[in-house]
Structure 1
Amino acid sequence: MKRILTSERRRVLPSDGQVLSTEEVASRRLLFGTNLIVETPPGGLRALLGNTIRDPMLWFLLGTSIIFWFIGERTESLVLLAALVPFFGMDAFLHRRTQASTAGLNSQLAAQATVLRQSGRQVVDTQELVPGDLVEVAAGEPFPADGLLLDVSSLQVDESALTGEAYPVRKSSAPTLPADDSDETISDHFWGFAGTRILSGTAKLRVVFTGRETLYGEIVQTALGGRQERTPLQRAVARLVSTLLLAALAFCFLMAAVRLYQGHGWLDALVSALTLAVAALPEEFPVVLTFFLGVGVYRLAKRHALIRRAVVVENIGRVTTICSDKTGTLTEGRLKLAHCYPAEGMDERQLLATASAASHERSGDPMDDAILEAGPVARDRVVARFPFTEDRKRETCILSHDGGAYVAVKGAPETVLALCDHGTGEADGWLELTRRLAGEGHKVIACARRDGFPGEESSVEPDSHFRFQGLLAFEDPARVGVADAISQCRNARIKVIMVTGDHPETARAVAAEIGLGDPVPRVITGDDLMIRLAQPDGNDALVVDVVARAVPAQKLALVNDLRRRGEIVAVTGDGVNDVPALQASDVGIAMGERGTRSAREVASIVLMDDNFRTIVGAIAEGRQLFSNLQLSFQYLLMIHIPLVLTAALIPLMGYPILYLPIHIVWLEMIIHPTALLVFQALPEADILNRLPPKGRLRFFSRAQVWSIVLTGAWVTVLVYWSYERSLEQDVEHARAMALAALVFSGAAMTVVLSRLNGIWARLVPLMALLSVILLVQVPGLAGLLHLRPLHGEDWLIALIGAAVACLPLIVERRIGRLAIADRRSATGFGKVSR
């Protein structure tokens, strides 16, 4: 990874050691902006107003209020204006909930930085840094921006957030740049990157790029931009809304014409048309979809999964196969001492003591940390130390002990063995063991010791007369909880295939440890995979659990074949070599802690914790989101069918208008929170075990379609009959009766669909029932809404009618649960193609 330092940016960088003045800082902030990776989502009054003015209900209320004011109906006008208050409150509440999905992105960066300026050394907020600033960064601190490293001292950096490398990266001071103004390509060896963290040592950073110009900033902006992509479901809903909107407009013009023809006057015709327009306007569907997708993004972010493309919120719940890499996803991505092989005459304690002496103290190096966790920390005084370098491939430490000194060394086995005195063939035996351990995926080092070394002569590193102590083999342990996640996938009929470049035996051991395979892991190599894929034989060719020694082309071939067989495939990856498979998959999942920038750019999900359990949780969240969205749309259709049909048919049949504008406002204040709040929070304990539909995605099953039609039709008949029956008394009593029947039916639908699961599922229907009782039975309130209190038998009819209306829905829910159980029992266990 290299960055180009352009001639324009070079001209704003001070010379080595120089710092910026207050005036220079101010001018550069105007030129380059603040060092802010993610703009805080607008949450003030302006953003709220911007969202609210796009709500057609606002313009309906204002328009009809103005009409009633000018014709002298001042009370009606004021009531409509007062209805704006709860609408603004509901918009503010929902707007606040949608801001949370990106709130934590800036947390990956430093909050404050120590900067050197002409005014002195000071601690400032990182967003105040500008290109040219000189920043001091110590061990444990993240870099606050991208910049060139100066005055480096024993610097090791964790760059896993950008490069995918699990091991520390050693850094050096940047060389003095030539005096010309040409562009300069500078190796990442001399860069410090925002979002990466110093493990050991210190450095000064000459800030070059800030904010969105940093590598981390580019990744985040790509993520935020990708999330705005319209999904197939969004496009389908948009087409539905357009169709319904055109139909509603045509109906409104017909309504106005018919009412004028019937002799009701232009005001009646206008109010009838406006009321029908608002009742028929399908604005809830895109609002609910957008809100639910936002909820999905937010909840997946809470599970440490950053969504880059909205389509993944739909696809993740339908995943049937996961092709997962091993390191850092199924395993911890860190070194742990697994095996000790002491030399003859040595024991494990002595071997670890030598390794600990060579490491001496925790430096942030994962291998040193693993050694010091396994063995005692050396207490002897360090006389001299020769750190590890790529050319020497060893680390040497001279220590004082009981008036004398000794030397401890650890490093590459071939290097350490060359320092030691051996018998004939002894070195070859140790090198053969090293090759075998390395072939099984272990990281192997050798240790040696030299006693009686004169401590005063420590300026030159000793390179002979060592006694070989033995080998240490390290491995990457399985993550805690991965075995449970694999078991959950097996129960949910999600096939998991480990695809790794490791040795087959290493992969087999990890697979067996995490329970991958039943009863034992079925392991093949990448070459064997290609042979099987070339065979005409179908399903049996891919009944595998582990593909070892796999190269990118083989991983891509596996993904393409699985998709050809109808699988919805999720692929995990962290490097440039994983990009083809990530692009080809239905759901590409990049590692956030270790993943490279290339992998993140093509992936649709970025895991911020690199944990396989997060993938399983994301699948469950996706299935839950789709199920809840179905319920919300089901409710909207069942409540809008009788609302629109009765709003249109009753006036067209010559009866007085059923719904006045204030009634539509009241009903929408029940419908909106029900659709948005009740169903988005519904949990289901066994949602992961609910198999997604195979083949082309159908939003509703046939049983659901029939329940929507039958329930909507029955409620339409109930509302019409209630209205027509009560007209014998007066129109205000008839309206109250019809509204009571509709609100009771809507509450009953909500109870059946939600099963009262969650606080909103209990609170919203209760508030709806209380509102109809108060607004109908309290004479003062009923008068404002042009209603009249009902009799006991009226309430009984509304209650019984609502209960009967939900019978098709109850039957459909029962049929749906039986169908899910039957489909699960008929599904083969552990097969790749089902």
Structure 2
Amino acid sequence: MSSPEDRRSTAPAGWHLRGAADALASFGVNPATGLAPDEAACRLKTDGANELRSAPPTPVWRKVLAQFQDPLVYLLLAAIVIAAGAWIAEGAAGAPVDAIVVAAVVLLNAALGLAQEHKAANAAAALRSMTSASSTVLRNLERKVIPSADLVRGDILVLSEGDSVGADARLVAVNQLRISEAPLTGESEPVTKDPRTLGGVVPLGDRRNMVYRGTAVVQGTGRAVVTGTAMDTEVGAIAGLLERTKAEPTPLQKEISGVSRVLGATVIGIAVVVMATIVLVNGVSSIDDLRTVLLLGISLAVAAVPEGLPAILSVVLAVGVQHMARRNAIVKQLHAVETLGSASVIAADKTGTLTRNEMTIRRIITASGQVELTGTGYRPEGDVLVNGREADHPAALYEASLVLTGGAVANDAQLKERDGEWEIQGDPTDAAFLVGARKMGAAAERVRGYERLGELPFTSERKLMSALARNKHVGNLSLVTKGAPDVLLQRCTGLQIGDEVVPFDRVRKDKVLADVEVLAAEGFRTLGVASRLFTEGDLQEPDVLKEADEVSLVFLGVAGIMDPPREEAAAAVAEARRAGIRVVMITGDHPGTALRVANDLGIAQQGDKAATGAELDELGEEGLRLITGSVSVYARVAPHNKLQIVDALQAQGHVVAMTGDGVNDAPALKSADIGIAMGITGTEVTKEAAKMILTDDNFVTIVSAVRQGRVIFANIEKFLRYLLSSNMGEVLTVFLGVVFAGAIGLGGATDENIAVPLLATQILWINLVTDAGPALAMGVDPELGDVMARQPRRITDSIIGLRMWSSIFSIGLVMAAVSLLSIDVFLPGGLVEGNDSLEVARTAGFTTLVFAQLFNAFNSRSETFSAFHRPFANKWLWAAVVVAVALQLAVVEVPVLQQAFGTASMDVLHWGVCVALASAVLWTDEVRKVGCRVIRRRPAVLHAG
């Protein structure tokens, strides 16, 4: 066995020039057994994980520095300089309180930003681990599916249709293997592979005896020995390009950033107006006055812009996506959550998604009668009945045995028993034949008598699969073909009746097709089985099959396979319809089978028809638009038909979610707004193409994900409403306080030239205490109303519409009014006569605004539901509010904080007035919500009348 140093020193680019035996010997591996687990673990430890080198992690100091690279932070830093400069100009007496407080705010904001960024990064890393690719390898004679990151040099890769190649490897054996190398070479046409050794200078695209990491198997099977992993792969050679690629912001992030920029520009303009108004009304006669004006303007601009919005959005989306993953829906891209809430059509596969994917052969129809197998699932137990009775019927039993034998020989699945439970590896339809053969002992015995030599793999275009097998006892060769009955019949010239073969005339073929229609109408999936006996010299290469060999077949019979609908799927379909989402079924099965299942699930109604792929191919653009607008069941479709359906639905303005599992489904999944791959039966290629993966392959999970996506989007609306309305309250409080300073008694309350309702440090405190905590808590708010009772949100709709802006302004206006009123209540003069100092009155206004924002947190949980609807459902919101109240108590009553923030202690009466006035934000919004609910109900009342 070669040493690790020898293995690493071999240039990966030269393996195509060396023989397969040489590669196997170099890595000390037997292609029939694979590596031993201990040896694989040792190599993994030596060579490292099979992962591309990513950009080095950003140092902590850079992350910290990044928190200060923001225009709003620049404003705060300018405020520090202004405050410190004024303190020095005034003789540097005492401590520069304003400068220290603003600096503390900057540091605390940076700490919060770092924490939010860290949480979002951890959530994203967790999602990446859930969607990591896997590969099938041979270890100690046993096939194992392992993470591709655990592949090592010398591993024997087992390749089949739909696999994503996990490492560079030298082919050892192939069977009709074709690989799509477009990600590596840009060549769209799949490459037919051949394990023979090449010579001379061979470009990458012509190395037919190699497979490369990141490419996809589109047809056939093969085995290859891994020659390069991680950065020693062809993809690794260009990994530097990936390291320089920056992640694009999602559409929602772009919209939020745009809102922040517009709001920032608007508020800076308002801040300039406020400062100019102060100067015009009060004048500036000293450096201290100038400092007050500048600090107030800067603080107002900083506090009014929710600069933490992008970070909060990332955290909320990431946490929400993790929650969805725990419910079997792994969303690979955060922006797919936005799209989920807008889905108006779900185009779902039948098998496994809407059905249980426990394929069971229940009936076999042959020339001599009908054989029924009882039992369900993969446990090989059940009775064999002929024409509904246990009576012996040798001819029918013999023919049924041949059908099961053929289906079990032309087969790539495995059936195993573990701890008393039977499980399969491979295609469920293939597994159904293995189970059926075991139920009929004679068939199982026949299967053991054959040695399989070669195969022609199943493809969606051919709808057939063939295998060449040698009879161990007699030595002759047999070709066994199974597939769609209507396709298979065209290749058959004989019919098996008992132990004889008779000509297969038109009458007999029509009888078979009629039997197929009966089975399909009863909900069975149908597969025909045929065979051909080869004589000496018929095959020039006995281990190589060609499509030309699939002729002159003897038809054995039809197997009726039942895959019962999932019990919970009908309720999920009804839930989707209630949410305004249309459900469409797409399947390769017979139209009768598809319609039967669709009727049982409520996707189609009695009398509806199914459209076939052949019918779609004959339609033009207008015809496709018409048929996709009305038909909900599509049968016998080819992969390109799925793409036709998706494109036609999208052209009608629908947001389409499409499921798929096969390699040929990848184009449709990429084209769909939400491509959904099956986590159990799906290929690696479809998982890479999809935006979402179902770990349980269940349609119910799709509907559940749509619900969760709508909840997440509703929560984003909640914290946007909260942040923007609260910040609007701060802006209006300062602006109106300056404009109406005389009316509320603020103008004559001090000998100072400048009198403002709130100090700069107080504004920054409000922004710090009331923004992040409640907003994050609202991001995980449970569902309050029935989000599935609404129609899908249009993807083009702005999240912050005119109605939300009007709500933001009205709530901000109420906040400003009650905050200024609390100042007026305690100040001498003004609208209400008081007798407290300016410090106490300003503290009351400051506290009222904080409490008003906390009341607003409960308002913002719903646009129409009362704040008293399930008030304790969100424990995190209550925790954030309690913390904010405690901090406000401290800043008002703790002496050192009083000095820093210009506050004064208040008695119980003062606190009571502040809370009572702040609660007006709650009550006024409750009145507005009552009006909204009345208006929403009015059309229904008028209609009823």
CA 1:812–1:355: 2 relative to 1, 3 Å? farther
Q: Which deviates the most, 106-115 or 226-235? A: 106-115
CA distance in 2, matches of 1:539, 1:383: 54
User: Which residue of 432, 437, 449 maps to 1:370?
Assistant: 432
Is residue 280 of structure 1 aligned with residue 304 of structure 2? yes
Residues 123-145 of structure 1, C-alpha deviation per residue, up to 9 Å, x if partnerless? x9976989xx54344799x9873
Q: Name 2:18's counterpart in structure 1.
A: 15
What are the within-5 Å matches in structure 2 for residues 304-703 of structure 1? 312-326=336-350, 329-331=353-355, 336-341=360-365, 344=368, 345-346=393-394, 359=408, 362=414, 364-366=425-427, 367-376=429-438, 378=444, 382=448, 385-390=451-456, 393-394=466-467, 396=469, 398=471, 411-412=481-482, 421-422=499-500, 424-425=502-503, 432=510, 442-446=526-530, 470-474=557-561, 478=565, 481-500=568-587, 502-518=589-605, 521-525=608-612, 542-548=629-635, 567-572=654-659, 587=674, 594=682, 611-651=698-738, 653=741, 656-674=755-773, 676-684=775-783, 686-692=786-792, 697-699=797-799
Q: Which amino acid aligns with 2:155?
A: V
Q: Which amino acid aligns with 2:451?
A: R
Q: Name 2:811's counterpart in structure 1.
A: 711
Q: Name 1:740's counterpart in structure 2.
A: 847
CA distance in 2, matches of 1:562, 1:715: 47
Q: Name 1:786's counterpart in structure 2.
A: 902
Q: Which amino acid aligns with 1:362?
A: Q
What is the deviation of 1:702? 6.2
What are the within-5 Å matches in structure 2 for residues 773-812 of structure 1? 773-779=889-895, 781-812=897-928
What is the deviation of 1:427? 7.8
Q: Which deviates the most, 627-636 or 700-709? A: 700-709
**Cα RMSD, aligned residues only:** 5.6
Is residue 52 of structure 1 aligned with residue 67 of structure 2? yes
Q: Which deviates the most, 715-724 or 541-550? A: 541-550
Q: Which amino acid aligns with 1:103?
A: A
Tell whether the 8 Å contact from 1:340 to 1:472 is kept in structure 2 after alignment: yes
CA distance in 2, matches of 1:370, 1:798: 73
For residue 98 of structure 1, give the secondary structure of its aligned residue in structure 2.
Answer: helix
CA distance in 2, matches of 1:177, 1:826: 81
Tell whether the 8 Å contact from 1:332 to 1:479 is kept in structure 2 after alignment: yes
For residue 108 of structure 1, give the secondary structure of its aligned residue in structure 2.
Answer: coil
Q: Which amino acid aligns with 1:751?
A: F
What is the deviation of 1:810? 1.9
CA 1:228–1:823: 2 relative to 1, 3 Å? farther
Q: Name 1:455's counterpart in structure 2.
A: none
CA distance in 2, matches of 1:442, 1:503: 8
For residue 529 of structure 2, give the secondary structure of its aligned residue in structure 1.
Answer: strand
Is residue 147 of structure 1 aligned with residue 246 of structure 2? no
CA 1:36–1:554: 2 relative to 1, 3 Å? closer
CA distance in 2, matches of 1:114, 1:325: 31
What is the deviation of 1:763? 0.9
CA distance in 1, matches of 2:505, 2:399: 17
What is the deviation of 1:645? 2.1
Equivalenced residues, count: 774
Tell whether the 8 Å contact from 2:175 to 2:220 is kept in structure 1 after alignment: no
Residues 650-690 of structure 1, C-alpha deviation per residue, up to 9 Å, x if partnerless? 35645534433442342122233245312211121622222
What is the deviation of 1:594? 4.1
Residues 538-571 of structure 1, C-alpha deviation per residue, up to 9 Å, x if partnerless? 9999443224456788767766665566544444
Identity of aligned residues (%): 21
Residues 399-424 of structure 1, C-alpha deviation per residue, up to 9 Å, x if partnerless? 78xxx999999544767968985254
Tell whether the 8 Å contact from 1:101 to 1:297 is kept in structure 2 after alignment: no
CA distance in 1, matches of 2:876, 2:504: 74
CA 1:374–1:782: 2 relative to 1, 3 Å? farther
CA 1:696–1:56: 2 relative to 1, 3 Å? closer
CA 1:37–1:374: 2 relative to 1, 3 Å? farther
Is residue 254 of structure 1 aligned with residue 353 of structure 2? no
For residue 823 of structure 2, give the secondary structure of its aligned residue in structure 1.
Answer: helix
Residues 99-125 of structure 1, C-alpha deviation per residue, up to 9 Å, x if partnerless? 22343435534599999xxxxxxxx99
CA 1:365–1:300: 2 relative to 1, 3 Å? closer
Q: Which amino acid aligns with 1:93?
A: A
CA distance in 2, matches of 1:274, 1:681: 32
Q: Name 1:266's counterpart in structure 2.
A: 290
CA distance in 1, matches of 2:795, 2:177: 50
Tell whether the 8 Å contact from 1:394 to 1:411 is kept in structure 2 after alignment: yes
Q: Which amino acid aligns with 2:610?
A: V
CA 1:820–1:638: 2 relative to 1, 3 Å? same
CA distance in 2, matches of 1:763, 1:11: 63
CA distance in 2, matches of 1:111, 1:570: 27
Tell whether the 8 Å contact from 1:656 to 1:731 is kept in structure 2 after alignment: no
CA 1:227–1:353: 2 relative to 1, 3 Å? farther
What is the deviation of 1:516? 1.1
CA 1:188–1:648: 2 relative to 1, 3 Å? farther
CA distance in 2, matches of 1:699, 1:374: 55
CA distance in 2, matches of 1:467, 1:540: 39
CA 1:33–1:555: 2 relative to 1, 3 Å? same
User: Which TM-score applies when normalising by structure 2?
Assistant: 0.67
Q: Name 2:126's counterpart in structure 1.
A: 103
CA 1:113–1:600: 2 relative to 1, 3 Å? closer
CA distance in 2, matches of 1:255, 1:425: 102
Tell whether the 8 Å contact from 2:308 to 2:772 is kept in structure 1 after alignment: no
Is residue 90 of structure 1 aligned with residue 112 of structure 2? yes
What is the deviation of 1:49? 1.8
CA 1:811–1:175: 2 relative to 1, 3 Å? farther
CA 1:203–1:820: 2 relative to 1, 3 Å? farther
User: Which residue of 249, 268, 274 maps to 1:228?
Assistant: 249
Q: Name 1:751's counterpart in structure 2.
A: 858
What is the deviation of 1:739? 1.8
CA distance in 2, matches of 1:46, 1:825: 63
Tell whether the 8 Å contact from 2:300 to 2:730 is kept in structure 1 after alignment: no
User: Which TM-score applies when normalising by structure 1?
Assistant: 0.74
Q: Which deviates the most, 538-547 or 677-686? A: 538-547
For residue 500 of structure 2, give the secondary structure of its aligned residue in structure 1.
Answer: coil
What is the deviation of 1:733? 0.9
Q: Which deviates the most, 244-253 or 355-364? A: 355-364
